[in-house]
Structure 1
Amino acid sequence: MLENFLKAPIDTDWFLAKFYEVLPNIGTALAILVGFWILYLSTRGILRRILIHADFNETLIRILIQNIYLGVLMVIAGIMALSHLGVNVVAATAGFGIAGIAVGFAAQDVLSNIIAGFMIFWDKPFRIGQWVTVAGEYGKVDDITLRTTRIKTRNNTFVVIPNQKVINEVLINHSRKGMTRINVKVGIAYKESIDNARTVLLEEVSKIDKILTHPAPEVIVESLGDSSINLVVQAWVADAEDEMFALFTITEQSKKALDAAQIQIPFPHMQIFMEGTPSAGQ
């Protein structure tokens, strides 16, 4: 049967007639696609300036223009082009709609993260390059996508956090207001002078690089503990990137300065009094 089909004469006149019949429609469809592409090229710059003027995030601008705006234009162009080629666009659209519903149910988590991504771009709780603590992770925001937020930690590891988790967690932005204050707790013995300890600590902190002189460092009494007078050394850095360096340095230098000044840093201890202890002769 296949051999008979292959041996059957080909009606070239019929093919040419059909080709010439649909050629204008093909030309119209191609013209529609080219026209929408030109529309995109001529309007993307205007749309970009509008979004920049509205203080939209650069990443969101790129997504809106290069993905969503272009996608919408191409879908409209595709539907119009197919309709000129005789395709039943209504039936095809209905089929895509049913398939879209099925995909939506199967990808609820992905869609939730994408919606959360839009909320992050709109609300702007942080920007790329800022230092944040979120979902138990501390680091610099390296990238923001529609689905995830990527954080680079001080260990040079990348943490990828789903955007839905980001918006549902308490977030600390260490860089939002510029300067960052560091608090280092130091305990001294009750027999020591608070004023002497304050003088020693402030003198040592003022020598540390990255510590600002305005606002000036302070040493305050936080509480009177069971075994110690609990002080807090407060100092400011200009950039949150220096926060950990300043924290570790102040902690180390405070210990060394108090040791050099012979100011005791106590440790928790307990005195036990025993009643009814037998005498030595018993």
Structure 2
Amino acid sequence: MMLLQQGVFLDPQQYVPPLISAVTTVVLFVVVFVVLYLLGRYFVVRAVKTSLRHREFDETLVGLAVSTTVGIIAVVAVALAATVAGFGIVLAAFATLAGALALAVGFAAQDLIANFVAGVFIIQDEPFTVGDWIEWNGNEGVVREIQLRVTKLDTFDNELVTVPNSDLANAAVINNVANDRRRVSVGFGIGYADDIEQARDAIVDEGSRIDGVLGDPEPTAPVVSLGDSAVVLSGRIWIDPNESSYGSVRARFVEAVKERFDAEGIDMPYPNTELSGGIEVTNVDGSEGATGD
């Protein structure tokens, strides 16, 4: 025993049992946590990875699932280890704090979570993939990269567009290259006095000569409307969008038909309006004149 100046005796032996108990608790907590964490990572993570790959999930989603599983295993291991070691009160306080924090973060990151969830569905459902030409809400571009939060696209003016995944998930997305055939349609107006069959033959013939145009289905040119100043024929040709550029083929088609119409004397009239009736003219000196139709 040690004698202090105030006359109080201090026995070091009285602190040995609490110290041993504290050390034992900490060691027990660490051992239980390590065992549970390692076992969980070995068995659960392997099962998750094997299951998802067996179902042919995208590797990005597999990696995300593995990371999430590891985090859950760590939390569960901490909770069980704390329970076994007798940290129940501390664990309860930690759980309350974690719940409040999760609620606050959830409200603050609603858009982020929405984009994240949308990214998961886009990657899994594959409405489009890297390299596809898509259109949505009046915009269009070629997909460069699909991430969990955003999708990056290149416009035809070589501009980079970054779109939140929730915008794409909630929009009607047109994938222009999803199928192995796509129709290119161009309206050609001819005069009412022109021969429809002659114009149709010219459109079909020029369409079939363009590189990249498929022979099946064959090019067609039905009359689709009678306009104010022209009879409109729809020139229709088919291409493989993965082999031929839609824009390039369409431009060559329009140019070839225009030159063919010029060579054969087929009119492509401008919009015009015909007026009928009479006009009355009054001069400044008061004299009047009239012309009829």
Q: How large is the Cα RMSD of the aligned pairs? A: 3.1
Alignment counterpart, residue 115 of structure 1, candidates 100, 114, 117 = 117
Alignment counterpart, residue 213 of structure 1, candidates 194, 206, 215 = 215
Q: Which runs of 5+ in 2 are unaligned?
A: 1-11, 281-288
Task: Give the 3-state SS of the residue equivalent to 1:93 in structure 2.
Answer: helix
Count, aligned residues: 266
**1:41 CA displacement:** 5.5
Q: Compared with structure 1, are the counterparts of its residues 109 and 221 closer, same or farther at alpha carbon in structure 2 (3 Å cutoff)?
A: same
Q: Compared with structure 1, are the counterparts of its residues 274 and 164 closer, same or farther at alpha carbon in structure 2 (3 Å cutoff)?
A: same
Partner of 2:271: 268
Partner of 1:246: 249
Task: Determine if the alignment matches structure 1 residue 133 to structure 2 residue 118.
Answer: no
Partner of 2:146: 144
Partner of 2:52: 51
Alpha-carbon contact 1:211-1:237 (below 8 Å) kept: yes
Quick check: 179-188 or 115-124, which moved more?
115-124
Alpha-carbon contact 1:188-1:264 (below 8 Å) kept: yes
Partner of 1:255: 258
Task: Give the 3-state SS of the residue equivalent to 2:144 in structure 1.
Answer: strand
CA deviation vs aligned residue, 1:150-175 (integer Å, no higher than 9, x gap) = 22222222222222222322221222
Alpha-carbon contact 1:22-1:85 (below 8 Å) kept: no
Quick check: 191-200 or 122-131, which moved more?
122-131
Alpha-carbon contact 1:29-1:80 (below 8 Å) kept: no
**1:269 CA displacement:** 0.8
Partner of 1:69: 69
Task: Give the 3-state SS of the residue equivalent to 1:219 in structure 2.
Answer: coil
CA deviation vs aligned residue, 1:207-254 (integer Å, no higher than 9, x gap) = 222221222221121111111111111112212572222222222222
Partner of 2:101: 99
Amino acid across the alignment from 1:263: I
Amino acid across the alignment from 2:148: L
Q: Compared with structure 1, are the counterparts of its residues 232 and 41 closer, same or farther at alpha carbon in structure 2 (3 Å cutoff)?
A: farther
**1:35 CA displacement:** 5.8
Q: Compared with structure 1, are the counterparts of its residues 46 and 268 closer, same or farther at alpha carbon in structure 2 (3 Å cutoff)?
A: same
Alpha-carbon contact 1:29-1:82 (below 8 Å) kept: no
Alpha-carbon contact 1:149-1:161 (below 8 Å) kept: yes
Alpha-carbon contact 1:131-1:175 (below 8 Å) kept: yes
Rounded to whole Å, the distance in 1 between the matches of 2:59 and 2:95 is 33
Which one scores higher on RCO, CA 8 angstroms, separation ≥ 6?
Answer: 1
Partner of 2:9: none
Q: Which runs of 5+ in 1 are unaligned?
A: 1-10
Task: Give the 3-state SS of the residue equivalent to 2:260 in structure 1.
Answer: helix
**1:106 CA displacement:** 1.5
Q: In terms of Rg, which structure is larger?
A: 2
CA deviation vs aligned residue, 1:17-43 (integer Å, no higher than 9, x gap) = 959963784486267447635643565
**1:180 CA displacement:** 1.4
Where do 4+ consecutive residues of structure 1 move more than 6 Å? none
Partner of 1:158: 160
Q: Give the alignment's TM-score, normalised by structure 1.
A: 0.79
Rounded to whole Å, the distance in 2 between the matches of 1:220 and 1:112 is 46
Alignment counterpart, residue 197 of structure 2, candidates 181, 195, 198 = 195
Quick check: 231-240 or 44-53, which moved more?
44-53
Alpha-carbon contact 2:119-2:166 (below 8 Å) kept: yes
Rounded to whole Å, the distance in 1 between the matches of 2:151 and 2:29 is 44
**1:61 CA displacement:** 2.6
Q: Compared with structure 1, are the counterparts of its residues 183 and 99 closer, same or farther at alpha carbon in structure 2 (3 Å cutoff)?
A: same
Alpha-carbon contact 1:130-1:140 (below 8 Å) kept: yes
Rounded to whole Å, the distance in 2 between the matches of 1:184 and 1:49 is 51
Over the matched positions of the two proteins, sequence identity in percent amounts to: 29
Amino acid across the alignment from 2:131: G
Alpha-carbon contact 1:187-1:229 (below 8 Å) kept: yes
Rounded to whole Å, the distance in 1 between the matches of 2:135 and 2:226 is 30
**1:113 CA displacement:** 2.2
